[in-house]
């Protein structure tokens, strides 16, 4: 049976201590992810999450940075888990252009991040939708 298995989308990951100069834009914390796929009897979509954290942070500053990045992680998990049903449906119909799905997924993640940043007065990132049509309805 053709099915899609999505891994790396449950639970929280530990923070990874990283010098601030190694965190993009010299920020104090950073939530990020990579995706890869494996296609044999099943189509596997594998997410690897990372939460980079400046290890010199202490007290409230550290708590605030971790809480901010956990919000990004929670938003990511919501979007990633929402892929299961439409991906299963699409895969039953035929082959899935997973690269296109991931382009739209990345767009959605940045859109969600930008909405959060606007709400808290943080800077936003440029985000353009992919030129090919979205393969599913979110
Ligand atoms: Zn943020």
129 C-alpha to ligand 1 centroid (Å): 20
Q: How far is the CA of 98 from the centre of ligand 1 (A)?
A: 26
pLDDT tens-place string over residues 54-109:
999 999 999 999 999 999 999 999 999 999 999 999 999 988 999 999 999 999 99
Query: How much distance in Å is there from the Cα of 22 to the middle of ligand 1?
Result: 16
Task: Give the CA diameter of the chain.
Answer: 52
116 to 72, 93, 94: CA distances (angstroms): 8, 35, 36
Calculate how far, in angstroms, residue 138's C-alpha sits from the geometric centre of ligand 1. Answer: 22
**Which pTM value belongs to this model?**
0.94
For residue range 37-59, what is the model confidence (pLDDT) as tens digits?
Answer: 998 888 999 999 999 999 999 99
Give me ligand 1 centre to Cα 93, in Å: 37
């Amino acid at each position: 049976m053709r099915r899609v298995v999505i891994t790396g989308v449950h639970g929280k990951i530990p923070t990874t201590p990283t010098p601030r100069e190694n965190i993009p834009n010299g920020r104090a914390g950073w939530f990020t992810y990579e995706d890869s796929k494996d296609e044999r009897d099943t189509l596997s979509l594998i997410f690897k999450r990372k939460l980079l954290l400046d290890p010199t942070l202490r007290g409230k500053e550290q708590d605030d940075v971790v809480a901010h990045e956990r919000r990004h992680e929670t938003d990511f998990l919501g979007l990633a888990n929402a892929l299961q049903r439409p991906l299963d449906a699409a895969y039953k119909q035929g082959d899935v252009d997973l690269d296109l799905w991931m382009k739209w997924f990345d767009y959605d993640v940045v859109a969600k991040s930008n909405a959060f940043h606007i709400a808290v007065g943080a800077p936003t990132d440029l985000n353009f939708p992919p030129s090919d049509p979205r393969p599913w309805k979110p």
